[in-house]
């Protein structure tokens, strides 16, 4: 007897309701409160839209996220191709373990270790150091969906292309890459959306260049005392990223169906 879908989904639904939707509702309520908490107002949202400094920080964070996405894609794609398509049955798992094992360590410890290495190399906090940290942090998130997509490519498709006279370059560009597109889209979406709000790496490695939208929300809540404005910015950002994630997920699903 198959379990009912409601029974299977109930634990996940309860978890999301308790730890995502309920806090988000509280955050949305806070964003509509006056500074004294005595009434409802849209002034917090108007403040976000009126002040160009907020828009500038969001654009800066989007640029950092875009560069992180492109850099991790450039590194993850050939690595995933080699491990999934070229390495042997013994070499592949070893390379996969060597790639992923460092990321079992907490992000804060990794960032401090990377900061020590950067200092040893003569670098200091700044944009370059921050980008090294961002790429290092999000590389496995880009790698895993691409690697999984390449593993699912049927050997019959590659063999058929070779029988029809395709060169190794043609097989890669016209067979492997198109079939890997769902993983590329999924990995790019994850890295872009997650790195957009990254706080730890920019704070530790970015110096004055590491003031991202995550830093701004932290400042508004804990240092600036502007809880309503910080909540409004967080709600707007969450809504925008949710819509973007939904559209990218549909895009990835469409590519997978194709």
pLDDT for res 71: 95
Give percent of the chain above pLDDT 90.
6
Tell me, letter by letter, the H, E, C secondary structure of 102-115: HHHCCHHHHHHHHH
Dist CA 189 CA 9 (whole Å): 25
Dist CA 72 CA 70 (whole Å): 6
pLDDT category of residue 5 using cuts at 50, 70 and 90: low
pLDDT category of residue 150 using cuts at 50, 70 and 90: confident
HSE-CB for 84 with a 13 A CA cutoff: 24
Q: What is the pLDDT of residues 177-191, one digit of tens each?
A: 777 888 888 888 889
Domains identified in the chain and CATH numbers = 44-257 (1.10.3720.10)
Dist CA 109 CA 255 (whole Å): 38
Phi, psi of 25 (to 5 degrees): -65, -40
Decide if pLDDT at 257 tops 50: no
Decide if pLDDT at 256 tops 50: no
Q: What is the pLDDT of residues 15-74, one digit of tens each?
A: 888 877 888 888 888 888 877 667 777 888 888 888 888 888 888 888 999 999 999 999
Q: What is the pLDDT of residues 206-231, one digit of tens each?
A: 877 778 888 888 888 877 678 888 88
CA-based Rg of the chain, rounded to a whole angstrom? Answer: 22
């Amino acid at each position: 007897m198959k379990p009912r879908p409601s029974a299977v989904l109930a634990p996940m639904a309860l978890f999301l309701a308790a730890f995502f939707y309920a806090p988000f509702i509280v955050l949305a309520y806070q964003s509509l409160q006056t500074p004294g908490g005595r009434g409802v107002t849209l002034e917090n949202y108007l403040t976000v839209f009126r002040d160009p400094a907020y828009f500038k920080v969001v654009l800066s964070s989007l640029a950092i996220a875009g560069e992180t996405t492109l850099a991790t894609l450039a590194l993850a794609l050939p690595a995933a191709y080699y491990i999934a398509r070229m390495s042997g049955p013994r070499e592949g798992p070893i390379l996969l373990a060597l790639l992923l094992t460092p990321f079992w360590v907490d992000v804060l410890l990794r960032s401090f270790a990377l900061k020590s290495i950067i200092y040893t190399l003569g670098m200091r906090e700044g944009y370059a150091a921050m980008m090294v940290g961002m790429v290092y942090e999000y590389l496995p998130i880009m790698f895993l969906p691409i690697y999984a997509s390449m593993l699912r490519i049927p050997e019959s498709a590659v063999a058929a292309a070779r029988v029809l006279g395709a060169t190794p370059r043609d097989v890669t560009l016209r067979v492997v890459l198109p079939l890997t597109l769902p993983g590329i889209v999924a990995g790019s979406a994850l890295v872009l959306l997650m790195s957009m709000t990254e706080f730890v790496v920019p704070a530790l490695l970015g110096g004055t260049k590491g003031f991202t939208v995550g830093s701004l929300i932290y400042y508004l809540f804990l240092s600036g005392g502007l809880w309503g404005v910080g909540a409004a910015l967080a709600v707007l950002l969450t809504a925008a990223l949710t819509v973007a994630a939904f559209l990218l997920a549909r895009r990835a699903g469409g590519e997978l169906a194709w």
